[in-house]
Structure 1
Amino acid sequence: MTANTTRALLGCIADDFTGATDLANMLVRGGMRTVQTIGVPASNETVEADALVVALKSRTIPAADAVAQSLAALDWLRAQGCRQFFFKYCSTFDSTDAGNIGPVTDALLDALSAEAGANAAAFTIACPAFPENGRTIFRGHLFVGDTLLNASGMENHPLTPMRDANLVSVLQRQTESKVGLVRYDAVAQGVSAVRVSFDTLRNDGVRMAIADAVSDADLYILGEACADLTLITGGSGIALGLPANFRRAGLLNEQGDAAQLPQVNGLSAVLAGSASKATNAQVAEWRATRPAFRVDPLAAARGENVVEQALAFAQPYLDKAEPMLIYATATPDEVKAVQRQLGVNEAGHLVENTLAAIARGLHERGVRKFVVAGGETSGAVVQALDVHTLRIGAQIDPGVPATATTGAEPLALALKSGNFGTTDFFEKALRHLNGAAQ
């Protein structure tokens, strides 16, 4: 076979923006030139890349809307010539009993089965494991570090509280399809045993199967076993083994420059909207020695012009070319207090819209390098900055790559899931965007 040069091989649909860059990071590490789009592109003009990742903002919207957006993304990826498809969600399986992981997976399976034949896409796995970031699955139960998911802090998530670590049960509540388990016993025996497990589950009427994985080696085994699946679902970790499948098939060349990005000049800023433990620690680390401004959602709800307040705070530091942090990050108790006054959705939208407006103002004042913490916040910021396409660069921390927009005047962006990154991530990301994003 001749290696692919223009048409994409793998088409991915991610349910949030930072999750999309997390997945794209894995694919770049595997040598796939990867382009991420912000939403579904309006044009079917061919995008030259080995892998395409469509970033949606569908994790917490109504299930019917998430399905519609995901199917639109699938149609665009099909038009790009993709041979295999990937539905990416969070490594902590963020969802509710109403969805959206189950309903979107059902819809994608239905659409792909209708085109490829009755059984060609009637089965898939669900594997959010990401051992490098402490997410492992054993006997269908998700661990965060040494702690079960429901005792990891995710039980306090303001939008998708995870109170059950048994992912088979969690997913079964979201779908009428039968959910099964690819047990660690099979994974430990290798690729052939996993494929036998797939066949057994299919024959038992299982349509989706949680897959155990406790190490990167397990993810490589699962990835190879999925070579013939039309659809794969999971966190970014399962993508570790996918590039090699295309390489073995003669469809993918080695790409030594897959992570190359353009140099970006200009000022820098950090924006944080996540309420996760990791982001709270990162904000505290920055505030100990560096300038920071806290956005108060209740003040914004009262009509105070917190956007102008934040920009006024930032201006002296912009004049000195010194990066600053503007954050709405809060403890779980503080978040709950705001939600009680404003409502869950209203509070979330208010924070996102406020930080998005601040990002626009910073851009107007010369900021060209942004570090953004939080999936929902990242989505709001890239939309506010009118970003449509990202090229994916080298990894900053596990699950977080540097990225750059396409076009004549690129922006450099580090879009971080709330749960990811070391305590000094903000400083590390800025150093990377200032020096390594070249």
Structure 2
Amino acid sequence: MLLGAVADDLTGATDLALSLSREGMRTVQVVGIPPADFDYGDAEAVVVALKSRTIPSPEAVALSLDACRRLIGAGAEQIFFKYCSTFDSTPEGNIGPVAEALHAELGGALTLACPAFPANGRTVYRGHLFVGDMLLSDSPMKDHPLTPMTDSNLVRVLQKQTALKVGLVTRDVVGRGIKAIGTAFEYAADRGEEIVIIDAITDDDLRAIGQAAAGMRLITGGSGIAIGLPENFRRAGKLSANRAESGFTAPQGKAVILAGSCSTATRRQVSVAIRAGTPALKLDPLDIAAGRTTADKVVDWVASTTGAIPLVYSSSEPEDVKRAQQALGRDRAGELVEELLADVALRLTSQGYCRFLVAGGETSGAVVNRLGVQALFIGPEIDPGVPWTVSVGLQQPLALALKSGNFGGEDFFLRAWDLV
């Protein structure tokens, strides 16, 4: 193992594993903290998928440290803390507290924070995060039900979450190339800075940053920054030349779409699918709480559909989400949907369903955990950051497309099946 990664949610882990695999690293994604005797095979990169983005900070820190120690114990030379390309977290964390704990665990040398993912419209300029042409604070992320982002200044956001001194390396420096970036890192360390936000607006920027960070024990960011890391190991003679992608075979069987995300992107995908004739069942957290909607009823509805692949979704407008949160509690409203969809997925596997497209990081984590998936093989990319995967180790393999709520084109729910 060369690179070990700790990801704060499942879809982000899959996104990262795809990036590393595409850059020529044999990559295994593990769901949850692996046991001490876990067999990673010949993996050169291992991505541990946690569900730690919105849990209390002390719990997120403890889980992340456990994962880091397992990876270091298995031989990882560099650790990557992966979070969302929209840098979303609560005002208290968990990006800052986890980064701070990993920083101390790995020796306390300078590290960087770079959520940029230009392929999906996430760029950082002058320390400010943009989503497409909008500042993060003007984007739909301001209405996120769990982690609303109302400040685009990442230096300010991160400094509120950590005791580490936060600095900035601007695009002016990044544009001058690897040597200039390395010098900026040296100057930052001389100023006593311990973690630097770094601008990036293109993939070339990310590759240059990745090369300049070759000697860093810890790197933090979105999956975009990972595209520059494999080449460092290749340059050091530890990684072979790029290999062709391994073959991917999806198990044959019935398919279903389960959407728990309420992001703008997922709501559009739901709307496009319904207009195209997809049979759809909308869930209401209040009905779930009252017992009017149960997993058995949803499974019966799915089984009764014919023709197009059925869609079960809870995606709602921000005002509807707030209404449910006010009645049930902020976290409980989402948990009810996640638990129901996870139960639905498990029941459907006994009826021949083995192809699942799941939208939403929290929902994906709940579904995968309920299905007992411990590891995933990364398959073809549907849209930037979203591949098909197949479960490893289950008696009945499952094909899983695990989509972050904000990712994918408007016709994602319709096109994804073309690859399987």
Which TM class, normalised by the smaller chain length?
over 0.9
- Matched to 1:301, the amino acid is A
1:158 aligns with 2:158: no
- Give the Cα–Cα distance (whole angstroms) in 2 for the partners of residues 126 and 273 of structure 1: 29
CA distance in 1 between counterparts of 2:38 and 2:404 reads 30
User: 1:350 aligned to 2:350?
Assistant: no
Larger mean Cα displacement after TM superposition, 163-172 or 94-103: 94-103
Candidates 319, 323, 339, aligned match of 1:333: 319
Alpha-carbon distance, 1:296 to partner: 1.4
Match of 2:30 in 1: 37
Contact 1:13/1:55 (8 A) holds in 2: yes
The one-letter amino acid of 1:134's match is: G
Which residue of structure 2 lines up, in the alignment, with residue 171 of structure 1? Answer: 158
CA distance in 1, matches of 2:251, 2:129: 39
Q: Distance in 2 between matches of 1:287 and 1:87?
A: 37
Q: 2:20 maps to what in 1?
A: 27
CA drift at 1:321: 7.0
Aligned equivalents of 2:66, 2:358: Cα separation in 1: 27
CA distance in 2, matches of 1:352, 1:19: 17
Ranges in structure 1 where 5+ consecutive residues have no aligned partner: 1-7, 114-120
Equivalent pair of 2:278/2:308 in contact (CA under 8 Å): no
Indicate if the aligned counterparts of 2:338 and 2:363 stay in contact, CA closer than 8 A: yes
Structure 2 match to 1:11: 4
Q: Deviations over 1:12-36 (max 9, x none)?
A: 0000000000111110110111110
Report sequence identity in percent.
52
CA-to-aligned-CA distance 1:14-72 (integer Å, 9 cap, x gap): 00000000111110110111110110112333412111000000000000000000001
Q: Is the 8 A contact 2:285 2:334 kept in 1?
A: no
- Per-residue CA deviations over 1:174-221 (Å, capped at 9, x if unaligned) read 011110001111100000000000010011110110010011110011
- The question of whether the paired residues in 2 share the 8 Å contact of 1:268 and 1:430 is answered with no
- Residue 304 of structure 1, CA deviation: 1.8
Structure 1 pair 43/265, CA: closer, same or farther in 2 (3 Å)? farther
Q: Which residue of 2 aligns with 1:5?
A: none
Given candidates 298, 308, 329, the residue that maps to 2:296 is 308
Match of 1:292 among 280, 300, 303: 280
1:105 is the counterpart of 2:99 = yes
- How far did residue 123 of structure 1 move? 1.0
Distance across 2 between alignment mates of 1:260 and 1:23? 19
Equivalent residues in 2 for 1:143-292 (5 A)? 143-288=130-275, 289-292=277-280
* Counterpart residue type for residue 300 of structure 2: A
CA contact (8 A) 1:85 1:231 kept: yes
1:419 aligns to 2:413 (yes or no): no
Amino acid at match of 2:200: A
> Structure 1 residues 216 and 255 mapped into 2: Cα distance closer, same or farther (>3 Å)?
closer
Q: Does 2:68 match 1:74?
A: yes
Q: Which runs of 4+ in 1 moved over 2 A?
A: 43-46, 254-263
1:129, 1:47 → 2: CA distance?
Answer: 29
Structure 2 unaligned regions, length at least 5: none
Amino acid at match of 2:6: I
The within-5 A match list for 1:47-126 is 47-48=40-41, 49-113=43-107, 121-126=108-113
Q: C-alpha deviations, 1:97-154, integer Å up to 9, x for none?
A: 21111110111011111xxxxxxx4210000000110000000000000100000011
2:122 is matched with which residue: 119, 135, 140? 135
The aligned counterpart of 1:3 is none
Q: What does residue range 388-399 of structure 1 map to in structure 2 within 5 Å?
A: 388-399=374-385
**How far, CA to CA, are the matches of 1:346 and 1:88 in structure 2?**
26
SS of match in other structure, 1:189: coil
CA contact (8 A) 1:399 1:420 kept: yes
Q: Which amino acid aligns with 2:325?
A: Q
Say if 2:250 and 2:398, in contact at 8 Å, map to a contact too. no
